[in-house]
Amino acid sequence: MSRLLLQAQRRLVIRRTSGPIFQLRFCSSAQVRKARKARSGDSESPRKTKKRKNHPGEKIWGAVGPKEGAADDSDEVEEIEQSEKVKDEEEEPIRRRTRARAQQNEEEEPDPPQEEKPRARFKSRRAQAAAGGNMADKIFDKFGDLAEVEGATMKACAAFRMSMYVVGFPIYCTSLYFNLFSGNFFIAWLLHKMVPMPVWGRLNSRQADNFLQRHPALHRCKFSMKLPDSFRQDPQDHHDLVKSAAGRAISEHSERMQSVFAQRKAMLKNHIKYGLAYDMADNQRALFTVPAIFLGTHFLNVQGIMQTWGVWYDPAMIWVVPFAGASYVCRFIAPAGFGRAVKHIHDDLLPGHAGDRNKSAQEINLPK
């Protein structure tokens, strides 16, 4: 009886025996269901085992009548438990063989590695990125073609500057009319301009290396906006070229001017090394650096401090602040503007390209 009281799930069962005696016993629900099946005539009788004899001093808790009925019920429960143990012992070798066979199959035949299927969600984005990369490579090839023609890169850079002035003027007027940029943004833009170029040299160089690895055609573009002539990447040679183009005689430079040229060459060593890729890296870095500095000036309220000290002059700053905003916005348009300027110069100067074919079609009155 003590074993029945220690079951995890107990249920109060009142069972009426054949005689006029009622017994109160605690049994688990599983044992109750099995006992009912054993007593029913339809189900098969469980395997009988040797009945446990009651000890002379053993008593059934809650028994109202004689001990014989309680002993019979305990014997039935004992028979059910013995049948479960026998059944488990018979099934245990089968389970062991099944586990051993499964383990052997896993060791002999490993599952083939499953290939990761690309997500259809980003399939269109990858296709657009590949198409954009191919288009960029074509434009960079045109840059390289211009770099092999003397004076072509200077014309492309001059056309690019003029296009930026034309595009930037409406942006300046819009920001002036709607007052889109604050004084703190102008201070951030001015601080960014005042920081020397070598401070950003490491970041720009790292990004320029990434551009060169991604687009090998950039290796041919050995010119920049600081030194736009691809054939004269020395500051002194570029100075002499501009001086001769202006119609002034080229004279020998003094020691002071030579030291200035040497200092300028040291400052532009990354522009000379990476070429156009360094300008692209610097433009991309400035798009994130200026807003970061603006957050600092806005948090510290530098404009309010300057107004308190009497340094801020509102009538003049109303016209100057939109210039900083237009200059920053033009950085987003600069890659497309430069590519358009280079394409226009490339098609006009180099033979066998779209510009020459269009001209020849117009001369013979054929459709383009």
pLDDT at 352: 58
Burial of 298 (0-12, 13-18, 19+ CB in 10 A): middle
d(CA 206, CA 201): 9
Per-residue pLDDT of the chain (368 residues; tens, 9 = 90+): 555 554 544 444 444 445 555 555 555 666 767 777 776 654 444 444 444 444 444 444 444 444 444 445 556 656 666 666 666 666 666 666 666 666 666 555 555 555 555 555 555 555 555 454 578 888 899 889 999 998 899 999 999 999 999 999 999 999 999 999 999 999 999 999 999 888 999 999 999 999 999 999 999 998 999 999 999 999 999 999 988 888 888 888 889 999 999 999 999 999 999 999 999 999 999 999 999 999 999 999 999 999 999 999 999 999 999 999 999 999 999 999 999 998 888 888 876 554 444 444 344 343 44
The whole-angstrom separation of Cα 226 and Cα 236 is: 13
The answer to whether 233 and 278 are in contact (CB under 8 A) is no
CA atoms within 13 A on the CB side of 112: 3
Long-range contacts of 49-56 (CB under 8 A, 24+ apart): 49/78, 49/79, 49/82, 49/83, 51/75, 51/78, 51/79, 52/78
* Most distant CA atoms of the chain, gap in Å: 137
What is the separation of C-alpha 198 from the centre of its chain, rounded to a whole number of angstroms?
Answer: 30
In terms of phi and psi (left: phi > 0; alpha: psi -120 to 50; beta: otherwise), the region of 12 is beta
Specify the pLDDT at position 70.
46
What pTM was estimated for this model as a whole? 0.62
Quote the CA–CA distance of 87 and 84 in Å, as a whole number: 5
Q: How far apart are CA 97 and CA 310, in angstroms?
A: 92
Specify the pLDDT at position 91: 66
**Those residues with Cβ within 8 angstroms of residue 337's Cβ, 6 or more apart along the chain or in another chain:** 160, 163, 164, 167
- Alpha-carbon distance values, 104 to 97, 98, 109, 367 (Å): 10, 10, 8, 75
Is the Cα dihedral 290, 295, 296, 298 positive or negative?
positive
In 240-255, which positions are buried (b, 16+ CB within 10 angstroms) versus exposed (e)?
Answer: bbeeeeeeeeeeeeee
CA 287, CA 335: separation in Å to the nearest integer? 13
How far is it, in rounded angstroms, from Cα 279 to Cα 271?
Answer: 7
